[in-house]
A and B are shown apart, each in its own frame.
Chain A
Amino acid sequence: MDGTGFLQREHFGELIRILAGRGYRVIGPQLRDGAIVYDDLSEVAQLPSGVIMDVQPARVHATVTQLPRYFSWANGPQALKPLLFRPVETLWQACRDDKGRLEFSAADEQEARPLAVIGVRACDLAALELQDRHFLQGEYSDPHYARRREGLLLVAVNCTHPDATCFCASTGDGPQARTGFDLVLDELDTGFIIGAGSKRGTALMEDLSLLPVREDQLAKAAVSHQAAREAQTRALPPGDLYDALAARREHPHWQAVAERCLSCGNCTSVCPTCFCSHEREQPRLDGSGSVHLREWDSCFSEGHSYITGLVIRAEPRHRYRQWLTHKLGAWHRQYGRSGCVGCGRCIAWCPVGIDLCEETAAVLGGGHD
């Protein structure tokens, strides 16, 4: 990459300070309650230094080591999704006067500052692009998502420690970030190779104390890219699975999954591309008005498919089938690619360890018609 530079580990705090100084609300990874979470970041000491994660289906375990790395883990449950598509969002407010007249006003929650996120993964950038297609590029755009997206600044960090649940190499979305960022970092023990992906990124680099990048540093980064790809043991079959899954709509494995599935919706909450929401009314207790809210919803909930006295997907096997056939099939027809970016979150955070890759293989492998 042209115009790269090397930021020594002891100078990493400069990046946080410069972003804050330019008016950004800086968000970055931190270890909290045994998991990596993304929250307000004001100093390097908050970063998850030396944290190594052991992630398996239904198991996430963090160990703090002396490893001189801030990003020696793959991801946490959140991704970028909650920063742009908020878990709860006010869409409008209504007021009624004493004559019964209504007045509607758009929720006008201006963000105080644009967001800058440090530590974005390739899978999250791929997911963000998909959420952009859903919320911004159709016939209607979502003004709430659009407002936050517009100012968003992204500092990607290439993944060096994929989890056992990761399979971004098979979906083509990682582990290396290739597009969609302002800055991209490769972490080495002594610091970071930094490159820009936008004009904003280039401008930021000018303010950092960068050294020239040495050949041996580039070589180390290339080795880590290769290693991160080869370390992945899970995979999804490539391509559009719409027809293959549709041909197996009555496969017995849907029921086998349903017998383990709790319909809890953890998978859809941690999925960086899932976009479902329901709308809810919250009248103020003093009668002065009513707030119309949007909240994340899940196709695993009973209410998701409710119509006039009837639940279309009353059985969990129908809900899991809906989720998987949408994610790996219908997404291709809706948005031109799979809805799965290989982050593995749905596997890690499923309380019973239902494994997207294994379940897909079981349904496709049966040859059932």
Chain B
Amino acid sequence: MTERGIPMQVEVVERVQESPTVFTLQLRLIEEAQRDAYRFDPGQFNMLYLYGVGEVPISIDGDPDRPELLQHTIREVGRVSGGLARLQPGDRLGLRGPFGRGWPMERLDGRDVLIVTGGLGCAPVLPVIARLMRQRERYRRVAILQGVKHSDDLIWRERYDEWARLPDTQVLLAADVAGPQWHGAVGLVTTLFERLDIDLANSTTMMCGPEPMMVAASRELLQRGAGEDDIWLSMERNMQCAVGHCGHCQYGEKFICRDGPVFPYREIAALFGQRGV
């Protein structure tokens, strides 16, 4: 049993503006002992603390094999994320983590891997993709699907292009509304399933995005032959303590911060898509 702790001090190493409202912070723990001890699993999250303002849960999207650099991609939405957006290299903040259960990396060996994301859901799967690309021979075909509302919302276009050039790797992009210069599909991310070149019955899917998108995409993948234990979803609810105590992230009997945020479809099937749960 662990005692709930207090934040560790981190500094901003680099800040990248990804889009008008999305930015990435690379952080480094100040204390060497803390830096050496810190490890995270793909899919876990940290609580970032802005001095005098408060905390927010943010998934870790850096490389799990380089845990000394903690990368977080954040959309400016509220008071804390708005303040985080104004940080510059050298600025200090607090960090608690990592928390939660991440993606089922141990279940991917020798299988086809499908990654389906929507909007900023593309961030929590980055550590997965880093692992897949580093140890490419362990996995069979890989398909990476990303959907955005407007084509201008797409971030990391160069990365998608780079992954698309790798062998046995399919990258498919969709935008509900397409502006000029858009070469992806037009429509929801589910419209891309037609073109999937993987064996769904022998695949593991990792999905992150707005809940209605995940509901629609999961149901369609199930119809197309994916198993309920082979679709993994990163869920979002209000998380304040990150240790299963504050009660905000409850989803039925689950505490999303502690039991998730990543769940196999089967574990949440009864509640998934129900309004007001």
- Chain A positions within 8 Å of B, measured between CB atoms, are 91-92, 94, 96, 100-106, 134-135, 137-143, 146, 242, 246, 249, 275-281, 283, 290, 292, 294, 297, 299, 303-309, 312-315, 317-318, 321-322, 326, 329-330, 333-334
Contact = CB atoms under 8 A, between A and B. Distances in A.
B250 A313 contact: no
Given A140-B243, A141-B4, 18 more contacts: A94-B52, A94-B94, A101-B92, A102-B93, A103-B9, A104-B8, A106-B6, A140-B1, A275-B245, A276-B248, A278-B246, A279-B240, A290-B51, A305-B248, A307-B236, A308-B236, A330-B252, A333-B253
B135 interface: no
B250 to A, nearest CB: 7
B94 A142 contact: no
Interface of B: 1-4, 6-9, 49, 51-55, 75, 77-78, 90-94, 236-238, 240-241, 243-248, 250, 252-253, 255, 258, 270, 274-277
24 contacts: A92-B6, A96-B51, A96-B52, A96-B92, A101-B9, A101-B92, A139-B243, A140-B1, A140-B2, A140-B4, A140-B243, A143-B4, A276-B247, A277-B241, A277-B246, A279-B55, A279-B241, A281-B53, A290-B52, A297-B246, A307-B238, A312-B277, A318-B277, A322-B250
Contacts of A334: 253, 255
B237 A305 contact: yes
Contacts of B2: 139-141
Nearest to B7: A104
Most buried by A among B2, B77, B253: B253
Contacts, number: 136
Interface of B is mostly: loop
A104 B6 contact: yes
A94 to B, nearest CB: 6
A276 B237 CA distance: 14
A138 B240 CA distance: 17
Interface of A is mostly: mixed
Contacts of A299: 247
Contacts of A279: 54-55, 240-241, 246
B258 A139 contact: yes
B247 A275 contact: yes
A322 B237 CA distance: 14
A104 B4 contact: no
Give the 3 A-B CB pairs with smallest separation, nearest first: A318-B276, A276-B247, A333-B253
B32 to A, nearest CB: 15
B248 A297 contact: yes
A312 B51 CA distance: 28
A326 B9 contact: no
Nearest to B120: A308
Contacts of A281: 52-54
Contacts of A317: 276
A316 B243 CA distance: 27
Contact of B77 (A290, A304, A309): A309
A141 B277 CA distance: 27
Nearest to A94: B51
A104 B55 CA distance: 14
B270 A246 contact: yes
B54 A102 contact: no
